Chain A
Amino acid sequence: MNTVIEAHGLEKHYGRVRALDGLELSVDAGEVHGFLGPNGAGKSTTIRVLLGLARADGGSATVFGQNPWTDAVELHKRIAYVPGDVSLWPNLSGGEAIDLLSRLRGGTNDKKAYTERKARLIEAFQLDPSKKGRSYSKGNRQKVALITAFASPADLYILDEPTSGLDPLMEGVFNQEIRRLASEGSTVLLSSHILSEVEQLCDRVTIIRAGKMVESGTLAELRHLTRTEVSFARNGLTDADIARIPSIHDVALDNGRARFTVDSDKITSLLPVLTELNVKGLRIAPPSLEELFLRHYGDELNPAEASLVPHASRKARRREAAQEASLR
């Protein structure tokens, strides 16, 4: 079987709230799969269903071809999980929590190797394992969960926003570990609301919003989503000067600065022109996921939100829709 996670038309209601509304998700063996969506989109709910901690109200979900609700224990032998909001036992030390959870997962049978793996990870993540759970910060609690997950081998790693409390240095360590897992052939489902994190690590990405899948594919396929914003001080440049810059979209010229967006793969072709214009205060920023959602899925926002979508990007959206249609 080549597909590790398969979900079709997944539904989950909490009272009148539709947490999942016909969600589709497919993760292949051996890939690092980014699971993107704004807060409240249903990422954690999906993960809970996949772990058999919550039961789907409709649709189907399989993990390794098995039903996560009925075969939970069997599946958990192959899965390592890092929750989005890690809580620890207040009176157990971090080291104790790591050992306990690893033993419950059955990952400590190779006792000596486990001890070595644990020691290496504690060193890499710079964790003090003797502190009690109640005195750890959010980032340190997350480190405990990550060390636990990485200290025992698993076929599938489900990580729910694993870096939200880590500093950039520790994010680097985290990225290294994910690459190690990928090179060893494990499958990783990495949920996040930070696009750049997913871009660095993932082979394929699924984007969800309001409990539905809105995009799925390789990063190359989703390249049109990752349009970079460029801005610089006008500094006496005329509108005509700026119009000379090739392949730019969503141009906005106000008194002080010129702003526009560029397809991320065309950004290098832009640089000679910018050099020639001798621009000052140049700023090149990747788009945030929130901006993307506003730009690409603004139709689905409620009218109040939709009115916030800038006029210029409506045109871009139509173009996008055409582009999407041609992709399918």
Chain B
Amino acid sequence: MSTLATLLLQRLRRDRLQLVIWIFGIALLALFSVSAVEKTYGDPAGRASILQLAVANPSILMLRGTPEGGGLDQFVFFEIFTFIAVLAGLMNTFLAVRHSRAEEESGRAELLAATPAGRTLPSVATIIYGALVNVAIGTFVALAFIAGGLDPKGSFIAGCATAAVGLTFLAVGLFAAQLMRTSRGANGVAAAAVTGAYVIRGIGDALATPAADHLNMTPAWWSWVSPIGWGQQTLAFDANNLTPLLLNLALTAALLALVFVLQGQRDSGASLLSGRLGRVDARSTLSTSLALAWRLQWPTVVGWCVGGALGGLLTGTLANAVSGAATADPTVEKVMASLIPGGKGSLVQLFISAIFVMVGVLAAACATQVIIRMRQEEVSGTAEQVLATRVSRVRWLVGYFTVGTASIVLVLLSGAVASALSALAVGDTSARVGDSFAAATAQLPAALLYLSALALVFVALPAWTVGLGWTLLGLGTVFGLFGGLVGMPEWLRNLSPFTHSPVPIGTSTDWSGGIWMLCIAVVVALAATATMTRRELNTA
């Protein structure tokens, strides 16, 4: 067997489970959305009226994309393609970094580079492997749409668009791996690029000009500088135009060329942005395990806070547009209400809540990373050195608990402050400031529940921490936030903590869900702490 084939098989074997989950997850999302659209917006008249609303509402355009016609197929593409593209993008950046920078950082790449595989062949293998994975994603997305009864040709185009966007972000991930010294840094840069591509096309779509029939829109130029935007511009199921994907391929080729140039120049393990020297002595504040946990985690917390603030800005600036759209047509209110389980109250309050549920997910994700960091400390052996000092196991755990709680509060707070400030900036001094803080507070219990539940997993089933942490968060997000949109059954949606977050609507708010979750979080946290006294260090 040739060296290249060996490398390819090694990658496939390493990722086999992850790949299946990602590919089928994305394909299932496509299939689900077809059935949900059929169920909810089955008749053409209903679709037309909802599209006319969307055309008038920049926030929907920003989140989803631009409508391209009133047919069922076109509606599905409008509703789900940008989400599919983001997922495919993230899958590819993680894949790229996992097989490049992470390998170098761990030293495994050096082992391989010393064999006849050399320094370049592993990268070639990763690219071929990534390309094959994207072909598979494209195929399964197309098959899912066809299985849902959509036009085969359009399904094929949609599959191609997904694969092309994925391929571009594979190259972005590999490029980030050349820039950054650590896999953590490379993953951060690459995921930020995916988010950036989504936001930039969101701005372009929000600024789109509607056609005369109010069922089509021409996006602003912003949408043409985003790889996800190019995928949208294939107008699958409508114009079925593959040419915009040439832009994806061109960017991919350019980035890959850069990757090989950079890799040819540098030493194994080095990076374009090299590490700086550190302090000779520690700051006097770095003297407890809590201070250490904060020191290790604060850059990540800042990142999530920026995300929270962006969410907050969205509510502040778009709430007016939403309220305007609602005055124009009452069905907007119905759509918004479907986003929030059991939601009543003014449209603006619902809109703020809808956005803050997402900020809540960010806060929970930030907390998840804090617990995962604790696990990484344990596995890498640095925790062993800390626990060999006069720091007890419980105090060590409580330190991370504290950092986790603080990071949740900070992410929600930055969302609330940004939301309030942007509301004030557009001259809205009314209750919007209070609504923002209430909506942020409402998300606290669900995020705390995630923190303490994962801490219990860490104590009881340490080896599961990373896998279960992200899985629980992912499932909770899908069930709680998108369950309503794609028509999941009630009991499934009720499994997600986010479903039970209170929806602040003034004085009549039902806070009971939040209070219950808070109580459960406290009990779980106490259980984790109690179990920690009897737990040994587990590095396996």
Which residues of A are in contact with B by a Cβ distance under 8 Å? 14, 48, 51, 53-55, 72-73, 76-77, 79, 81, 83, 85-101, 103-106, 129-132, 134-135, 145
Chain A residue with Cβ nearest B286: A100
Asked whether, in the complex, the Cβ of A77 is within 8 Å of the Cβ of B388, the reply is no
Residues of B within 8 A of A103 (CB): 282, 286-288
Q: Is the interface of A mostly helix, strand, loop or mixed?
A: mixed
Asked whether, in the complex, the Cβ of A99 is within 8 Å of the Cβ of B381, the reply is no
* Partner pick for A85 among B279, B381, B537, CB 8 A cutoff: B381
Given A83-B381, A104-B287, A135-B275: A99 in contact with B282 (beta carbons within 8 A):
yes
Contacts of B365-387 to chain A: CB distance below 8 A? 380-382, 384-387
Roughly how many angstroms separate A72 CA and B537 CA in the complex, as a whole number?
13
Asked whether, in the complex, the Cβ of A90 is within 8 Å of the Cβ of B182, the reply is yes
Chain B residue with Cβ nearest A106: B390
Asked whether, in the complex, the Cβ of A55 is within 8 Å of the Cβ of B296, the reply is no
Residues of B within 8 A of A79 (CB): 388
Is residue B292 contacting chain A, with contact meaning CB distance below 8 A?
yes
Given A51-B388, A96-B282: A87 in contact with B277 (beta carbons within 8 A):
no
Roughly how many angstroms separate A89 CA and B299 CA in the complex, as a whole number?
14
Is residue B278 contacting chain A, with contact meaning CB distance below 8 A?
yes
In the complex, which range does the number of interface residues on chain B fall in? 20 to 34
Asked whether, in the complex, the Cβ of A105 is within 8 Å of the Cβ of B390, the reply is yes
Q: Offer 23 A-B interface pairs, CB within 8 angstroms, sorted by A.
A: A51-B387, A81-B388, A83-B381, A83-B384, A85-B381, A86-B381, A89-B292, A89-B296, A91-B296, A92-B295, A95-B278, A95-B280, A95-B282, A100-B292, A101-B385, A103-B286, A103-B287, A105-B390, A106-B389, A130-B278, A131-B278, A132-B278, A134-B105
Chain A residue with Cβ nearest B277: A130
Asked whether, in the complex, the Cβ of A53 is within 8 Å of the Cβ of B281, the reply is no
Roughly how many angstroms separate A93 CA and B382 CA in the complex, as a whole number?
14
Given A96-B282, A129-B280: A76 in contact with B390 (beta carbons within 8 A):
yes
Q: Is the interface of B mostly helix, strand, loop or mixed?
A: loop
Residues of A within 8 A of B279 (CB): 93, 95-96, 130
Asked whether, in the complex, the Cβ of B537 is within 8 Å of the Cβ of A54, the reply is yes
Chain B residue with Cβ nearest A89: B382
Roughly how many angstroms separate A312 CA and B282 CA in the complex, as a whole number?
60
Residues of B within 8 A of A96 (CB): 278-279, 281-282, 286
Asked whether, in the complex, the Cβ of B537 is within 8 Å of the Cβ of A81, the reply is no
B287 to chain A, nearest CB (A): 4
Roughly how many angstroms separate A103 CA and B105 CA in the complex, as a whole number?
29
Roughly how many angstroms separate A29 CA and B213 CA in the complex, as a whole number?
92
* Partner pick for A53 among B182, B382, B536, CB 8 A cutoff: B536
B390 to chain A, nearest CB (A): 5
Asked whether, in the complex, the Cβ of B388 is within 8 Å of the Cβ of A76, the reply is yes
Contacts of B262-307 to chain A: CB distance below 8 A? 275-282, 286-289, 292, 295-296
Asked whether, in the complex, the Cβ of A76 is within 8 Å of the Cβ of B385, the reply is no
Asked whether, in the complex, the Cβ of A101 is within 8 Å of the Cβ of B389, the reply is yes
Roughly how many angstroms separate A190 CA and B462 CA in the complex, as a whole number?
31
Chain B window 102-115, contacts with chain A (Cβ cutoff 8 Å), 1 for yes, 0 for no: 00010000000000
Roughly how many angstroms separate A55 CA and B536 CA in the complex, as a whole number?
6
In the A-B complex, the 7 residue pairs with the smallest Cβ-Cβ separation, listed nearest first, are A93-B278, A99-B282, A104-B389, A87-B381, A96-B282, A103-B287, A81-B388
Roughly how many angstroms separate A55 CA and B392 CA in the complex, as a whole number?
15
B533 to chain A, nearest CB (A): 9
Chain B window 459-483, contacts with chain A (Cβ cutoff 8 Å), 1 for yes, 0 for no: 0000000000000000000000000
- What 13 new A-B contacts, CB under 8 Å, besides A53-B387, A87-B382, A94-B278? A51-B387, A53-B388, A88-B382, A89-B292, A89-B382, A99-B281, A100-B287, A104-B390, A130-B279, A132-B277, A132-B278, A134-B105, A145-B385
Residues of B within 8 A of A48 (CB): 537
Chain B residue with Cβ nearest A12: B536
Is residue B201 contacting chain A, with contact meaning CB distance below 8 A?
no
Asked whether, in the complex, the Cβ of A72 is within 8 Å of the Cβ of B278, the reply is no
Chain B residue with Cβ nearest A111: B284
Roughly how many angstroms separate A85 CA and B107 CA in the complex, as a whole number?
15
Roughly how many angstroms separate A77 CA and B281 CA in the complex, as a whole number?
22
A153 to chain B, nearest CB (A): 14
Given A55-B536, A101-B385, A103-B287: A130 in contact with B182 (beta carbons within 8 A):
no
Residues of A within 8 A of B390 (CB): 73, 76-77, 104-106
Roughly how many angstroms separate A85 CA and B292 CA in the complex, as a whole number?
21
Chain B residue with Cβ nearest A128: B277
Chain A residue with Cβ nearest B392: A73
A165 to chain B, nearest CB (A): 14
Is residue B519 contacting chain A, with contact meaning CB distance below 8 A?
no
* Partner pick for A76 among B295, B381, B389, CB 8 A cutoff: B389
Residues of A within 8 A of B181 (CB): 134
Roughly how many angstroms separate A97 CA and B287 CA in the complex, as a whole number?
10
Asked whether, in the complex, the Cβ of A104 is within 8 Å of the Cβ of B536, the reply is no
* Partner pick for A134 among B275, B384, B387, B537, CB 8 A cutoff: B275
Given A73-B391, A92-B295: A54 in contact with B536 (beta carbons within 8 A):
yes
Given A95-B279, A96-B281: A104 in contact with B289 (beta carbons within 8 A):
yes
Residues of B within 8 A of A130 (CB): 277-280
Given A93-B279, A99-B286: A81 in contact with B536 (beta carbons within 8 A):
no
Residues of A within 8 A of B392 (CB): 72-73
A191 to chain B, nearest CB (A): 14
B532 to chain A, nearest CB (A): 13
Residues of B within 8 A of A88 (CB): 382
Asked whether, in the complex, the Cβ of B381 is within 8 Å of the Cβ of A81, the reply is no
Roughly how many angstroms separate A96 CA and B291 CA in the complex, as a whole number?
12
* A89, A91, A104, most chain B CB atoms within 10 A: A104
B528 to chain A, nearest CB (A): 18
B377 to chain A, nearest CB (A): 8
A47 to chain B, nearest CB (A): 10
Residues of A within 8 A of B182 (CB): 90, 134
Chain A residue with Cβ nearest B534: A55
Roughly how many angstroms separate A88 CA and B381 CA in the complex, as a whole number?
8
B401 to chain A, nearest CB (A): 18
Given A129-B280, A134-B181: A53 in contact with B384 (beta carbons within 8 A):
yes
B276 to chain A, nearest CB (A): 8
Residues of B within 8 A of A54 (CB): 536-537
Roughly how many angstroms separate A72 CA and B535 CA in the complex, as a whole number?
13
Asked whether, in the complex, the Cβ of A53 is within 8 Å of the Cβ of B277, the reply is no
Roughly how many angstroms separate A135 CA and B288 CA in the complex, as a whole number?
24
Asked whether, in the complex, the Cβ of A105 is within 8 Å of the Cβ of B389, the reply is yes
Residues of B within 8 A of A86 (CB): 381, 385
Roughly how many angstroms separate A273 CA and B275 CA in the complex, as a whole number?
62
Residues of B within 8 A of A105 (CB): 389-390
Residues of A within 8 A of B287 (CB): 100, 103-104
B263 to chain A, nearest CB (A): 20
Roughly how many angstroms separate A292 CA and B332 CA in the complex, as a whole number?
83
Chain B window 169-182, contacts with chain A (Cβ cutoff 8 Å), 1 for yes, 0 for no: 00000000000011
Chain A residue with Cβ nearest B389: A104
Chain B window 522-540, contacts with chain A (Cβ cutoff 8 Å), 1 for yes, 0 for no: 0000000000000011001
Residues of B within 8 A of A100 (CB): 282, 286-287, 292
Residues of B within 8 A of A97 (CB): 282
B454 to chain A, nearest CB (A): 22
Residues of A within 8 A of B278 (CB): 91-96, 130-132
Residues of A within 8 A of B385 (CB): 81, 83, 86, 101, 145
Chain A residue with Cβ nearest B289: A104
Chain B residue with Cβ nearest A47: B388
Chain B residue with Cβ nearest A79: B388
Chain A residue with Cβ nearest B379: A87
Residues of A within 8 A of B286 (CB): 96, 99-100, 103
